[in-house]
Amino acid sequence: MNRIDKELVEGLHHVTLVTSSERVNRIFYTEVMGLRRVKLSVNQDDILHRHLFYGDEKGSSGSVITFFEWPHLVSGRHGLGSPHHLAYAVKSIEALRKWAEWLKRNSVPVSGPHIVGDRASIYIRDPDGFLLELAAETGGEVDAAVLREIFAEEVEVDRITPDMRLSLMDHASPIATDSTLLERFLSKTLGLRRVATRENPHDPSSPILGFGSGDQDFLRYILKPSAQMGFVGIGNIHHIAVRVKGEEEQREVMSVLNSIGIRHSGIIDRFWFKSLYFRDPFGNLLEVATEGPGYTVDEPPESLGEKLILPPWLEPERRRIEEALRLLDERYPAKWPPTYRPAPEKPERVE
């Protein structure tokens, strides 16, 4: 097979970043962002460092943001190979307004609201400096003036209310330099279509190219022909995983990659799902992950993420791993609350 000719990718599965501190990261993503930790484990390719997973109550695929804890790294920089930002979907403009208030209350500087295409968005930086967007669909009915009015209204928010809960990622935004190459690559290898091309209000020379299936464009590449290489470090996306049903679909993607000579990892059993990794032509690391079996395969749903879980093949190493993690915490003590860097005034712009 030399191309995928059907809609095989269903959306995002998870997005993985790099953090400097398990403790600061946990407090921020659970208490400030209201996600649940759904797995506490180690990086299977670097077993003496943690891998943290946060998502909705069940850890549904499409809701999960994960982190490799690598406190010894330097901060990264977005660019080619190091994606720009990630957006979570917020259910309504009113909920977005409440988020802005809640974040300010937690001393997190907020940029926005902004209108980007069909979304109203606010942007923040997490404690490691990663740019995170919260985006609500406008249905095309809300312009900047209406949005400003809504945001000018006083609102009292002393907790994350049910309507504010984050349960789905909206899009991830890597950077590309060539739209023709990008379109051919994503269509051939993943069967993704260019669903929309949007003007970038923060940089008219860098349109936002939305790729997806159905009418959802969950990969919103920022096209910047002059983009420089970035590098992945603390506060950056390490890789973006899209979701397929099962291993059969993964094997289809693998056979296309083989037929066009693109290096890949082969299918790797991650225990909670299976993974296949490869890079797009701009150096961004992509993963194709299976829907299941999911995070409840080795822990009861009511206590997900509470204790260190190792896949069965790492269980014999548990003592060595726990000791290494303890030393890591001692060596890199964490500080809460963090000092947040403000999000840029023009957040969708590639610097």
Instruction: Point out which residues bind Fe ion (CB under 5 A).
Output: 16, 87, 133, 241, 287
- Closest by CA to 27, choosing from 336, 310, 343, is 336
- Residue whose CB is less far from Fe ion, 135 or 338: 135
- Residue whose CB is less far from Fe ion, 235 or 338: 235
- Residue whose CB is less far from Fe ion, 10 or 287: 287
Binning the chain into helix, strand and coil, the percentages to the nearest 5 are 25, 35, 40
Least spacing, CB of residue 173 vs Fe ion, in Å = 5
Least spacing, CB of residue 159 vs Fe ion, in Å = 27
- Residue whose CB is less far from Fe ion, 23 or 270: 270
Least spacing, CB of residue 5 vs Fe ion, in Å = 26
Q: Round to whole Å and give the CA distance between 38 and 53.
A: 6
Find the Cα–Cα–Cα–Cα dihedral 184, 174, 86, 208, rounded to 10°: -70
Least spacing, CB of residue 85 vs Fe ion, in Å = 6
Least spacing, CB of residue 335 vs Fe ion, in Å = 28
Q: For 77-142, give the DSSP string.
A: B-BBTB--EEEEEES-HHHHHHHHHHHHHTT---EEEEEETTEEEEEEE-TT--EEEEEEE-TT--
Q: For the packed helices 93-105 and 144-152, what is the interaxial angle rounded to 10 degrees?
A: 50
- Residue whose CB is less far from Fe ion, 125 or 338: 125
